[in-house]
Amino acid sequence: MNDADLILFIAATFLLAGFVKGVIGLGLPTIAVGILGVVMAPAQAAALLVVPNLITNGWQIAAGPRLKAMLIRLWPMLAGICAGTWAGAGLLEQQKNGSATLWLGIALVLYALVGLKAAKLRVPTGAEIWLAPLIGIATGIATAATGVFVLPAVPYLQALGLDKDELVQALGISFIVSTLALSIGLVGAGALDMQVAWNSLLALAPALAGMAAGTAVRSRISAAAFKLCFFAGLLALGGYLVLRAAS
């Protein structure tokens, strides 16, 4: 693939990933790392995602309804994400056979199927205080191994009973902290330097364009339709990860 084709491939990938993120609040790293893995190593793809992740999640956070209250509620999980990501630093560079991505995809498919069957997961009253840090640590380790931020943070946040706008904001907060924590690990592993950061900045425009289109779609759908899109999107993302890792 020549340079011009590679640029078009990357732009199309971020346009698609941004659109999915705009609709359901997640999917940018999952789609981008999965598709870009065709032409580059997972650690390189994760490094390319840094700027688009930071800006799109910043937008997602700013558009939400209750930022201060959400930060106060989520900080134990966020601290756990940082600890888990840094504890697993280097796992992404070491991944050769795709086994971590395969298991992540399988777990995502199972969770999506449970959600589509209308099973209601709920965090019990009083459990949040001890469960949140554990969820954060597990999410951080999964992030360090795969470059994808979805499990188990997404099911946990969905089980808190947030409305669609609160959920999208909470996802944005979780993802931006994961991005910052992973970036520190990538710098330490030598996968993120100024050249890669510049390339990551160039990927921002198509990601924002896709997210703007997806956000417009989300603003026009009902809570029930959003839930269906959310779990169907998770099912598609999980299925893609399984196929990608197994191929």
Q: Name the residue type at position 26.
A: L
Per the CB < 8 A criterion, the answer to whether 222 and 15 are in contact is: no
What residues have CB less than 8 Å from 243, skipping those under 6 apart? 105
Q: How far apart are CA 161 and CA 163, in angstroms?
A: 7
Count how many domains the chain has: 1
Q: What is the pTM of this model?
A: 0.81
Residue 118's pLDDT is 64
Taking the CB of residue 29, how many other CB atoms lie within 10 A of it? 25
pLDDT at 165: 87
Find the domain containing 153 and state its range: 3-246
CB atoms within 10 A of CB 209: 16
Span 178-220, pLDDT tens digits: 989 888 877 766 656 677 778 888 899 999 999 999 999 988 9
CA diameter of the chain: 56
Return the pLDDT at 192.
62
Whole-angstrom Cα distance, residue 66 to residue 165?
10
What average pLDDT does the chain have? 85
pLDDT greater at residue 247 or residue 6: 6
Q: What is the pLDDT of residues 128-151, one digit of tens each?
A: 999 999 999 999 998 888 777 888
DSSP summary character for residue 140: H
